[in-house]
Structure formats: C-alpha cells, structure tokens
Amino acid sequence: MVEQIVDLNLGMSEDLRERLEKQHYYLAGKHSGVKLCHWTKKDMVGEGQCYKNKFYGITSGYCMQVSPALTWCTERCLFCWRSESYAMGDDMSDMDHDAPDWLVREMIKGQQKLLSGYGGNPKVDKQKWESAQTPKHVAISLSGEPTLYKHLDDFIEVCHDLGMTTFLVTNGTNPEVLANLKNLPTQLYLTVAGNTPQMHSAITRPFNPKEAWQKLNQTLDVMANLDTRKVIRLTLVKGKNMANPEKYAEMFFRAKAHFLEAKGFVSVGDARQNLGYDRMPDINDIVNFSKEIVQKSPQHLELIDVSESSCAVLMAPEDYPWRFLNI
C-alpha cells in the first residue's frame, strides 16, 4: 500500500475549504471529500430511496458519496451544479496524493460525523442509524473526475477489503486509467452527454476539446473488455442532446454494457446559470426518448424500469441477469 502523505498546505485553498465546509462537506485530506446525498438523508428519516435502490438494489442510507478529486475535473459540463470558481483545473500531478488506506478510513469517519445529527432524530430508526455508521456502498461520484486520483486502484481495493461495494462514475476522459485497473469497481458508470463530437463538446466543455471525443470512444472500447457490471448513463438536456437516439444505443452496445440509464438534468446550483428550468426534461420526456432509443436500437433493447422521483429510466438487452446480482 502507498505510504501515507497528508499535507493540508497543498491542494485546496483555505478559502475554498471554508466554503465547502459551510456547504456541509467533510473534507478528507488535500483533495477529497464526503457529503451526505439528498437520498441518504431521505432514507434516514423514512422518506424514500433513490433510483439506485430501485434499479440496482442499493440502500441509500448505507451509501457513502465521495470524491478523491473533489474540485478537479477534465470537463466543465453545462449541467454541473458545481461553481466554476471552485475548479482547480484538470491536473493533479503536481501534488502529493493522499494514501488510499488512510483516505477511505477518513471518509468513513466523515460519513459518521455527517450522520451524527440523525442519532437523536425521533423519525430515524435507531438500528438503521447504527448500521449506517458502517457504510455498505461507496459512490465515487460526488464531484470532479475520480480517475485523476493516482491511487484509485488501491482506493477501490481498500473499499472492497472493508466489505463495501463501489460505484465508480467517470466522464471517459482517462480510458488508460480504467484499462489499467486491477481492482474493478462493483459497478462502472460512464456518463455520456452527447452522441456526436459537436454535441458532446458543446455540453461537456472539456479542457482538451481536441481529444475529448476520441477519449470517450476509447473508453467505450475499454469498457467492452472489463469484467464488471457496466452502465452507460445519459444525462439529458432538452434541446441540447435529446437527438439521434440510435447513436446512444450504438454507444451502449459498443461498450458491451449491461444497462443503459437515461436521466434528466436537474437545474440546481450553478447549473442554473447555464441551463434554465425550461431545459429540464420531465419523466414523460425521458420515457418517450427512451422508447425512441429502444425502437431505433440496432440490437434488441427493453425499457425495464422507471423511477419517477429521480426522473430516470433503465434499459437493458433482453437477457440481463446482472440486474439480479446480489450486491
């Protein structure tokens, strides 16, 4: 395992750290963070769970939402809620990266701290709260691009060694990182925001626009050879990327993914400055576009589930035994 290095004088500025902490982030080390998901909070008080529970069997209250590259990303997506004033760029190579064993345990400590206020809430089941102190799932999806963290492979290994499943979300700009993983996540998400070079670039605004589309397609090919559960997730915006449905299906089959997930963009945070509420598709828009994808797919696809509360639709080939994997 990598030697522990923790130096808070590098990484995020003190001003940025203060702003994030005011927004209820638990900052772990120089470049990472934990934050309670909206659905984790809802589940703790018995008010429902997110689409990941309905689609993939994840218990929201036991899920820890993290990022090992909290304010670093290779793209500046129009639909991202993160303020660009928080961005630290797309390169973490000049800093020492915190050791994965320390980092995972620090994140668990952060999750426990963030959940501490629920312990005395009369709406919260005491046994559920106690069980939540030991997370069962790690969503590596909070913010930033996690493949920029150079110890990602060991990070995933530590999570698995501690008995947690991992859900890694990537934008597909670092296919070589995925190709070299020895420890694959339990589930790999690839976020797709466009099915042509122009559409993709206009929405994701990559730091390296000349290579972004090429890297995304390389990622599809890398995914095809990865032996883990794989999801292509479409983040859809009205009037921006809800076109050419057959091309999304082609990308899905190229990656040999198990699920194709269509989810509506939500106008929250700084995304409101880029895309208004009129750009938010409702569940009917997502269902109808998903039906178009199914109908125009070059191979057989089925619409197999809908989560109205999360404005999400799940599609899969006719034979989808991975859905019933015990995770």
- pLDDT digit string, tens, across residues 193-248: 999 999 999 989 898 888 999 999 999 999 999 999 999 999 999 989 999 999 99
Residue 3 lies in a domain: no
Provide the pLDDT for residue 86: 62
Task: Kindly state the percentage of the chain with pLDDT values over 90.
Answer: 69
Please count the structural domains in the chain: 1
Residue 138 lies in a domain: yes
Predicted TM-score of the model (pTM): 0.91
Provide the pLDDT for residue 3: 39
Residue 9 lies in a domain: no
Tell me which of 160 and 265 has the higher pLDDT. Answer: 160
Q: pLDDT grade, residue 309 (50/70/90)?
A: confident
**Domain boundaries, position 314:** 14-324
Provide the pLDDT for residue 295: 97
Provide the pLDDT for residue 301: 95
CATH of the domain at 288: 3.20.20.70
Contact 31, 104 (CB under 8 A): no
Total Cβ atoms within 10 A of residue 210: 8
- pLDDT digit string, tens, across residues 251-302: 999 999 999 999 988 755 564 566 666 778 999 999 999 999 999 999 999 9
Q: pLDDT grade, residue 11 (50/70/90)?
A: confident
Provide the pLDDT for residue 274: 61
**What is the H or E stretch that residue 137 is in?**
strand 137-140
Sheet with 137-140: list strands edge to edge.
Answer: 26-28, 32-34, 63-67, 137-140, 165-170, 187-192, 229-236, 259-264, 312-316, 302-307
Tokens 């397609």, located at residue: 217
Please tell me whether residue 240 adopts helix, strand or coil conformation: coil
